[in-house]
Amino acid sequence: MKTNYEIRYASHPEDAKKYDTARLRKEHLIEKIFSVDEVNMVYTLYDRLVVGGAMPLNQVLKLETIDPLKSEFFLSRREFGTFNVGGAGTITVDGIVYELGYKEALYIGAGDRIVTFESNDAANPAKFYFNSAPAHKTFPDRKITKTDAVVAEMGSLEGANHRNINKMLVCQVLETCQLQMGMTELAPGSVWNTMPAHTHSRRMEAYFYFEVPEGQAVCHFMGEPTETRHIWMKGDEAVISPEWSIHSAAATSNYTFIWGMAGENLDYSDQNFYKHTELR
């Protein structure tokens, strides 16, 4: 197996205003999430979130530590959340096996943990998308399915944003230090997510888009509300959203995305909302 990682540095909003398309994509877009028998990850200095993916095919993959963490184990001082967006697979944590089907999630608490990833069928490999954040204490590991989720149905077909927000690895469902993750599913005929646009200065966020039909694309919007920028994305790609940035998208089809957040609070009431007509 092979573990690949890169470091992404935080940027000032004044600097981001001057980015051209190539620089914006370089700093915020994560194109390589899944590759056969490899673990890929980006260590971002926005709240030190790690965004990555593991795709076991012919091998059992291990969650290895990376040099920036300066620890013997990846999770020595971190918590971990993952969603399976591929075929059935297993995650083994210190000898305990968790079976994960499509769109099922697992939370793993901090500690000197040995974590491995495996697919049940090489012809239909599992794809484990994950986020990891620093943790000050250890909470219990737990598998979460959509039946466990707090579901918020929002939007309308008329507004092209009818969607279910499945809050899965969140404080209403289980205890975490700071990591919060969920999955938003857009209904057929709906393309807009996360409107009205907002920011939350105490939490950064990462979006992972999937179930994007072949030949379709997602246009992700970011930036300050009066200085918005866009990044065109394909399925199985992720994007980093700074605390000062809005995070929204429209696509050429309906789709699903996984959102993950890290920061100093678990309260969603700290959002600053902006009217559609205020955006520039």
Residue 74 clears pLDDT 70, i.e. is over it? yes
The whole-number average pLDDT for the span 41-50 is: 97
Residue 268 clears pLDDT 70, i.e. is over it? no
The whole-number average pLDDT for the span 54-83 is: 97
CB 184 within 8 A of CB 163: yes
The whole-number average pLDDT for the span 168-175 is: 96
Instruction: Tell how far CA 150 is from the center of its chain.
Output: 18
Residue 146's Cβ-count burial label (10 Å; 0-12, 13-18, 19+) is middle
Sheet harboring 227-233: ordered strands across? 227-233, 218-224, 246-251
Number of folded domains in the chain?
1
Q: Are strands 29-30 and 89-93 parallel, antiparallel or unpaired?
A: unpaired
At residue 271 the predicted structure's pLDDT band, cuts being 50, 70 and 90, is confident
At residue 267 the predicted structure's pLDDT band, cuts being 50, 70 and 90, is confident
What is the rounded CA–CA span in Å between residue 101 and residue 114? Answer: 21
> Residue 87 carries which DSSP code?
S
Quote the tokens at residue 131. Answer: 């986020």
What is the rounded CA–CA span in Å between residue 2 and residue 21? Answer: 30
The whole-number average pLDDT for the span 134-154 is: 97
> Residue 224 carries which side chain, given as an amino acid letter?
E
Segment 180-231, tens digit of pLDDT: 999 999 999 999 998 888 888 788 999 999 999 999 999 999 999 999 999 9
Please state, rounded to an integer, the average pLDDT across all residues of the chain: 95
Segment 92-105, tens digit of pLDDT: 999 999 999 999 99
CB hemisphere CA count around 89 (13 angstroms): 33
CATH number for position 165:
2.60.120.10
Say what the pLDDT of residue 144 is.
Answer: 98
The whole-number average pLDDT for the span 122-151 is: 97
Model pTM score: 0.96
Residue 233 clears pLDDT 90, i.e. is over it? yes
Segments forming the whole domain that contains residue 118: 2-278
Residue 111 clears pLDDT 70, i.e. is over it? yes
